[in-house]
Amino acid sequence: MAFYSQEDSGEDYLFKIVLIGDSAVGKSNLLARFARDEFYPNSKSTIGVEFQTQKIEIKGKEIKAQIWDTAGQERFRAVTSAYYRGAVGALLVYDISRRRTFDSIGRWLNELHTHSDMNVVSILVGNKSDLKDTREVSTEEGKLLAESEGLFFMETSALESSNVTAAFETVVREIYNILSRKVMQSLDLKKPDSSLSGSGKTVVLETDSDQEIVSKKAWCCSS
């Protein structure tokens, strides 16, 4: 798992995070709400890959989250798979009003694990929680799946701006916490540096024990 320190910019770290899930589950609107506090009711499906950046301050450190929005359509998956590489965080998104999108989460998890570090900090996101009358996936089902896969869990509504910021910040905060624990414990660093901040170097951390930190840590919240 690699974390990047920014040399000349004001940020202390850069974390790459990917949004994945079926088409039309609301990935782009989650990103638009988080990055710009905007919502597009008639937004079109993402073509290929887009990304936005957002700064988050955690414990006095300024984190730059580079969030990649990947197309959910099958015909673009071969194109987008390369963009998983280097990701340290992921939001796996489904639509609570469409069970098919929930059933696809296992496939998206497999793809994430195939193309990225197995220990990517991930959160399962049940989006469109405002569609209460057409719900097909219960909150409990989402929580149980998250627990079985060692994921955080949260239900969101990009339309109502419910839990959107919390979902992204949960991932960023956990990535930072893992990094901090690794440094504090003085575990093996392939490229040791006396100062992580402002070094302009990639800090590569051994990940053998990361699974113990991340797995079975489901954090549930519904709107």
Rounded Cα distance between 71 and 62, Å, is 29
HEC string of 151-194 equals CEEEECECCCCECHHHHHHHHHHHHHHHHHHHHHCCCCECCCCC
- CA distances (Å), origin 73, targets 8, 52, 107, 133, 202: 38, 20, 13, 26, 33
117 by Cβ neighbours in 10 Å (0-12 / 13-18 / 19+) ranks as: middle
Of 156, 206, 179, the residue nearest 26 (C-alpha): 156
Q: List the domain boundaries for the chain.
A: 2-214
- Give me the residues of the chain with pLDDT under 70, please: 1-11, 42-49, 71-81, 185-223
Structure tokens at 72: 């959910």
Note the pLDDT of residue 208: 39
pLDDT of residue 69: 87
Q: Which CATH fold would you assign to the domain 2-214?
A: Rossmann fold (3.40.50)
Question: Does the model's pTM come out above 0.85?
Answer: no
The pLDDT of residue 26:
93
- Cα–Cα distance list, 203 to 66, 123, 188, 218 (Å): 17, 24, 11, 27
pLDDT for 12: 81
pLDDT in tens, 158-177: 999 999 999 999 999 999 99
pLDDT at 73: 57
DSSP per-residue string spanning the chain:
-EEE--SSSS-SEEEEEEEE-STTSSHHHHHHHHHHS---TTPPPP-SEEEEEEEEEETTEEEEEEEEEE--SGGGHHHHGGGGTT--EEEEEEETT-HHHHHTHHHHHHHHHHHS-TT-EEEEEEE-TT-GGG--S-HHHHHHHHHHHT-EEEE-BTTTTBSHHHHHHHHHHHHHHHHHHHHHTT--BSS--S--TT--SEEEB--TTHHHHHTT-------
